[in-house]
Structure 1
Amino acid sequence: MVDALAEIIASFHVYRSYLPYGKDTLVEAVERAARTRPELEPVIKALLPLLLEASHELGRRFQQTSGMVMAKGVEDTAFFRYTRLGTLTEVGADPTEFALTAPGFHERMVRRQALLPLSMTTLTTHDTKRSEDTRARISAISEAVPEWEAFVDRMQELARFPTGHSQPSYGKPSQVRGRPAVNASRVTSSRLPAKPATPPAGPSRTKRSKRRSPPPSTPPSICPS
């Protein structure tokens, strides 16, 4: 059962199912997990009814755990191992989708308003790696390749590395030209597997409480004698 739950969590592409709205997402994750681990399919399918019940303890615990695995496996690992453009490898983003058209953006906002009218829409949270102004600058620079290359060359001339240190070659958009776009399978394969915590062997240790000396009957004087 532990392996089945771990496989389902690793198959999530969002933080959690947010029942009842994310029922389809949970079903898709279960189906994906069953295809990946066919030997666990009976157990995986048997867990689905319990995971779909938001009031069931297993369903609640599952949603509390899936977000952590998603964040560590994708946003904190896969997105840092492959960074085509910093604004694409951000919390909640999909690096396989480079950009949206204006009509496509409005269509998504209409759908979001219909499904989740009270949901928060924000540009920066405590989870984002880069603030909205930084992401806007990165996106703007990516559209001004010659100007950025000239600026980087000029800065490297003005601030050369000390003798014995090699000059870095990062920072130029031309150096990432021709890189293939990241694909979904590559991102998925970089996710961290969910492993249950194993308690240490041997007797459990309890922390001894330190004995404190009783407070003095009269507070010490803070005035010089």
Structure 2
Amino acid sequence: MNESEKLSSDLHDIKQMMERSSRFISLSGLSGISAGVCALIGATVSADIIERNKRAVHNLKASLADADSILYGDFLHSRLFQVAMLTFIAALVTAFIFTYQRSKKTNTPIWGTTAKRLIINVTVPVITGGIFLLALINNGVFGFIAPGCLIFYGLGMLNASKYTLPETRYLAFGEILLGLINLCFMGYGLYFWAAGFGLLHIIYGTFMWWKYERN
């Protein structure tokens, strides 16, 4: 190996070390795929619940005209909330498993300063959005829930993208764009929700796996 090749190799190693210290690079493409699959299953179950409770939905909408707020204990709402929570937990657990496996394979720590920064940057917009959406639910405003989920989640991912792989920002842009489009098509929130949290995650995860992990 001549001096030029040795210098190039050393610079490459230094660049990798700097990247490992400043970015959380253990995110697995399989995590995105698994999260997308969980979202599609959750959307399918939710659609079935809504289809089987059309009368309850109609009565709920009619009652909201004379009500100042909706009770969180409503049967239909609690069923959908349970599905949403189970979907979120399943996606989180499977994503953690695949990310942990990748961190072991690449010999990079799964928890550290960069991981903390990543979590803080993604959770602040998401938690803020969650509180805002709960206020909408409490006041019987359901049309903005699906686009709100997509937009706030996209903002969280965009905010955290500087601490992980750069391709993450494209997923963030896709989520935000779908949420904004959904604002123009009220009543189709579940379809946009499935497209954003389901299909986009699967496409993103597949691309990331193909680019970084298949070899």
Q: TM-score, normalised by structure 2?
A: 0.23
Q: TM-score, normalised by structure 1?
A: 0.22
- Larger % of helix: which? 2
